[in-house]
Chains A and B, each alone.
Chain A
Amino acid sequence: MSGSSTAAELTLAELTIPRDREAAWQTLLDRGPLVDMDGAVFAVSNRAVDEVLHDPELYSSRLAFDVVGSPVPMVPIAFDPPEHVRFRRLLAPYFSPAVIAQMHESLREQAASLIAPIAANGRCDVIHDLAIPFPSQVFLTLLGLPLSDTDRLIRWKDAVLAAAGPSGATQGQQEDALELFGYLNEKIQDRRGQTGDDLLTKVVNDASEDAMTHQELLGLAFLMVLAGLDTVTATLGFAFEMLARDPDLRQKLAADHSLIPGFVEEVVRLNPVATFTPRITTRDTTLEGRHLPAGTRVVMVWAAANRDLAVHPGSTDVRFDREEHHWGFGGGVHRCLGSHLARAELRLVLEEWLKHVPDFGFAPGFEPVLPWPAGLLGFETLQITFEPAYI
């Protein structure tokens, strides 16, 4: 049980995530279902996570996300029901499976265009060359913004994430963050009264009673920058890392693309990039037999719960045909809105990549190391080499 008097309390910083995240997740599971770290209670078992996730009134997001220090409300992640429901209802139509399916052809073309020059080189940094630009382009396409803004968007996004991070932003990054707000502000204003099929034009011109205010739109765009870019980048990084490590896996997928969706699901199950998602208790309660006073910060550890043997047989194995639920996209009322888009992006990039570069490995001497501590788990660089392919 957690809080054993003979085991020293862990800190987040000392988890062995950089080079052996499997060991880190297992350490937490061994100490679970609840683990005390850094002043918070970490829920690591499947059952504990399930319970926290499904009582948003008791385990509040609004209180938890107040501390991120965003100048505008982070719509909708920082809201609890009932306010939160309004945003989800407004946004759901744009992220539904049917609407995302309409984007597939365009996404595939974008992936193919990015991959062609890389494939010819015989080497690349997956993160820098593919995993960063692709979701940025997809995001711009979704919002009807020009692809020529990709580099600017990436720079601003990095600035905003630095500002929200532990060390804060440099002067230059603060200016960049303000530029992002200025840019989004300008685009929102530009779209008023316009017609267009893209998400931004539609939400800006929504005439219903429930329509978002200008501040809320800004908060939404801001959150989408945070939620839609680095998450996909990181997950693509994990997909390539898993493939680079495992020739058998590569061969299976290259030979049968119908296995790719199952693989994508495993990448997300094993490497949920949001990693630690906080809630704050709104009243005294009991969780897994433990009393939690009101105001307790409870943190869900998706990667641990997704390895809970009570739910996942052979939990660390990649199995394409799993039938268990997992928390890679969260769950409950804040289920990742972008999950269908994310799955499509991952599948299409992998299909296009494996079509032309079925075999690859880490560059000689390269060892993948995860930056830690980090809000979002993901490689900053992933060097691979392969037989050049001319498309």
Chain B
Amino acid sequence: MKITIDRDRCQGHARCCAIAFDVFEIDDLGYIATQSGEIPDHLEHAARKGAAVCPERVITLS
């Protein structure tokens, strides 16, 4: 599955990383460091959680 990261929307909540650290990394300032791209099937569930928990809709899945 593909994850699309809209980094401009990120406000540094860091919830994505807190709930799905296998998929989402944050940088030194607490903003999302993960790039848009394909992720392996076994990480789909975690990716969905990370996307849902973000208050800013940074992460979309397709």
Contacts and interface: CB of A to CB of B under 8 A. Distances in A.
Do A and B belong to a common assembly?
Answer: yes
B14 A323 contact: no
B26 interface: yes
Interface stretch (A93-101, A135-143, A208-216): A93-101
Interface string B18-43: 11000000101110000000000000
Interface string A306-339: 0000000000000000011111010111010001
Nearest to B13: A335
A96 B49 contact: no
A92 interface: yes
A322 to B, nearest CB: 8
A97 B55 contact: no
B13 A324 contact: no
A95 B29 CA distance: 8
Majority secondary structure, A binding face: loop
A332 B56 contact: yes
| Interface size classification for chain A | 20 to 34
A340 B30 CA distance: 9
B28 A329 contact: no
A326 B54 CA distance: 8
Contacts of B15: 325
Interface residues of B, number: 19
A331 B17 CA distance: 17
Nearest to B30: A96
B12 A92 contact: yes
A325 B12 contact: no
Contact of B52 (A93, A97, A98, A324): A324
A97 B26 contact: yes
A93 B29 contact: yes
Top 4 A-B residue pairs of the complex, sorted by shortest distance between their CB atoms: A325-B55, A331-B55, A96-B30, A335-B11
Given A98-B30, A331-B11, A340-B30, 10 more contacts: A54-B56, A93-B28, A95-B30, A97-B26, A98-B28, A323-B49, A325-B53, A331-B56, A335-B55, A339-B13
